[in-house]
Amino acid sequence: MKKIFIYDSTLRDGAQAQGISFSVEDKLKIVEALDKIGIDYIEAGNPGSNPKDLEFFERVKKLQIKNSKLVSFGSTRRVGVAVEEDANVKSLLKADTSAVAIFGKSWDFQVIEILKTTLDENLNMIYDTIAYFKKLGKEVIYDAELFFEGYKSNPEYALKTLKAAFDAGADSLVLCETTGGSFPDEIREATARCVKEFNVQIGIHCHNDSGMAVANSVIAVEAGACQVQGTINGFGERCGNANLCVIIPNLQLKLGYSCIPQEKLEEITSLSRFVNEIANVVPDERSPYVGKYAFAHKAGMHADAISKNPKSYEHIDPEFVGNERTFLMSEVAGRSAVLNLIRNVDDKITKDSPETRKILDRLKELEYQGYQYEGAESSFEIEIRKALGRYTPFFDLREFKVIVNEPSLEGKNSSAMIKIKVDGEEEITAAEGDGPVNALDKALRKALERFYPSIRQMKLTDYKVRVLDSESATAAKVRVLIESSDGREAWTTIGVSTDIIDASWKALVDSIEYKLLKEKGL
């Protein structure tokens, strides 16, 4: 299997995405996760851009990194400044990584209009900077910024910038599709030419502004590139970067390349969810390979076929990437879909068992009440357990009260008091929150933590309310969907009531019960 070097830029490019800001602690945790899964290069930040990155590079030295190589990122020397005197170069040296990524301009338009210098001076800036770091014994990855834009505008000059880096001793030349506007045929032709002309590792770095980042990365590899840059979950500026959680399975499972150790591939779904959790980003559940719905089946015909042979509607076994097959409960789901969920609880039950009919009847009754289990199979699994007599609640509610006050300056306008009983012991707690549901959620988990410490790992990641009968005005039923996560898995539960607090309570209870059921292996 040909080796493809995976270069992760989540901590630098990914941090440029709107709404994402990693603390130093966040970055250290992500480094450990990337190292564990076997990523070759981790571009950890630009030490010349902010004090936080300088602090990170000091603290990361204490980590025991086994599989990955840390990379600090910066630009070529500035126009008219000696490389030894350049502030950015000094910052890269202070980061003290064995590898550095240096970016320079490949587009003549940007050299003249943005840098306000000559084409020859730009070549000197590239050469001087790389030669300086090579002289110091560093591995140098040259990022040819805006390469494909430059290649389309002036191919001769774009190639000259690579030649300057190559002559200075760069260990790899990375072709950057910085604006995200190129198509696969353009990527293939330019990459193949660079592979032919330069006897050095060629890499690819794509952005997703035209939705082509993954396709362009794969095409570049087929054209001879042996390093792929990207981010976990495609985080990045504007429309994002190439998504490594899609690229790695594509290259490894479909094309036979070696990107990460084969036994680590099944950890890529949990890595995706872990990084989403740290970034406080709602996951894209339709993301290929790692999304919650990547292997979800709804139509009765599809579910029935999958039950007979998964190859009928799945391009890979979800276990290869650490994901799982799910069957969505809805008005178009067939008996086979329900049966698959029942078998998660009792694998001896068949399609013709009386228990199956009982559960199907219960499903219809609940749907009539306003429940919709498509996407909330966790709650439906609990209903199955109740129907089969295999459900014992982990706690009993004695009472709860919720008080909503005028909004305060701190934002916490609600409080909740709750009394529960676990194995004969009572616990009474209270909590404040940003709204009644948030207060109730905090109070419930606070009460349970003494009995079930793992509850501390949980948090509510999404909350949706839908009015089911708008004609009934304030007396209408509402459906509440709550998504929860423990940093490794995510699950969704549902509650329905004419009282939004009651509906939220039902969904909250199911969420915690489901977490504890899975933890106990039930």
Helices (H) and strands (E) in the chain, counts: 17, 16
CA distance to 44, 336, 432, 461, 508, per residue, from 416 (Å): 42, 42, 6, 20, 14
d(CA 122, CA 128): 10
- Pair 414, 435: CB distance under 8 Å: yes
Strand partners, 419: 399, 428
Residue where the block lists tokens 């500035």: 78
Phi, psi at residue 292, to the nearest 5°?
A: -60, -30
Integer Cα distance of 467 and 402 in angstroms: 21
295-314 pLDDT, tens digit each = 887 655 666 676 677 788 88
For position 258, what pLDDT does the model report?
97
Pick the closest to residue 364 from 387, 390, 340 (CA basis).
387
Give the model's confidence band at 332: pLDDT under 50 very low, under 70 low, under 90 confident, else very high: very low
Q: Collapsing DSSP states into helix, strand and coil, what is residue 102?
A: strand
- Taking the CA of residue 456 as centre, how many other CA atoms within 13 Å lie in the half-sphere pointing to its CB? 6
Give the tens place of pLDDT for each residue, 405-446. 776 556 677 899 999 999 999 999 999 988 888 899 899 989
Instruction: Kindly report the average pLDDT of the chain as a whole number.
Output: 90
CA angle 78, 84, 86 (to 5 degrees): 30
User: What residues contact 387, with CB distance under 8 A and at least 6 apart?
Assistant: 355, 358, 359, 362
**What pLDDT sits at residue 87?**
93
Contact 320, 265 (CB under 8 A): yes
Query: What is the sign of the dihedral through the CA atoms of 141, 145, 151 and 155?
Result: negative
pLDDT at 421: 93
Q: Mention every residue, 6+ apart, whose C-beta is less than 8 A from residue 509.
A: 397, 444
Q: Is 21 or 410 the better-scoring residue by pLDDT? A: 21
Q: What is the pLDDT of residue 408?
A: 59
Mean pLDDT check: name the lowest of 45-59, 226-240, 324-338: 324-338
Distances (CA, A) of 481 to 279, 333, 508: 22, 20, 9
Q: How confident is the model at residue 471 (pLDDT cuts 50, 70, 90)?
A: low
Query: Distance between CA 371 and CA 479 in Å, rounded?
Result: 7
Given a cut of 60, whether residue 331 has pLDDT beyond it is: no
- pLDDT at site 337: 62
Q: What local confidence, expressed as pLDDT, does residue 1 receive?
A: 77
Q: pLDDT value at position 125? A: 98
- Could you count the other beta carbons within 10 Å of the beta carbon of residue 196? 11
Chain centre to alpha carbon of residue 185: 28
Domains of the chain: 5-260 (3.20.20.70), 296-387 (4.10.430.20), 395-451 (3.30.160)
Q: Taking the model in full, what pTM does it have?
A: 0.73
pLDDT at site 301: 66
- Mean pLDDT, range 322-346, rounded to an integer: 70
Higher pLDDT, 438 or 107: 107
Mean pLDDT of 81-94: 94
Pairing of strands 5-8, 227-230: parallel
3-state secondary structure of 129: helix
Closest CA to 394 of 460, 344, 444: 444
Provide φ and ψ at 75, rounded to 5°.
Answer: -95, 170
pLDDT of 237 over the 60 cut:
yes
Q: Beta strand 41-45 with 5-8: parallel, antiparallel or unpaired?
A: parallel
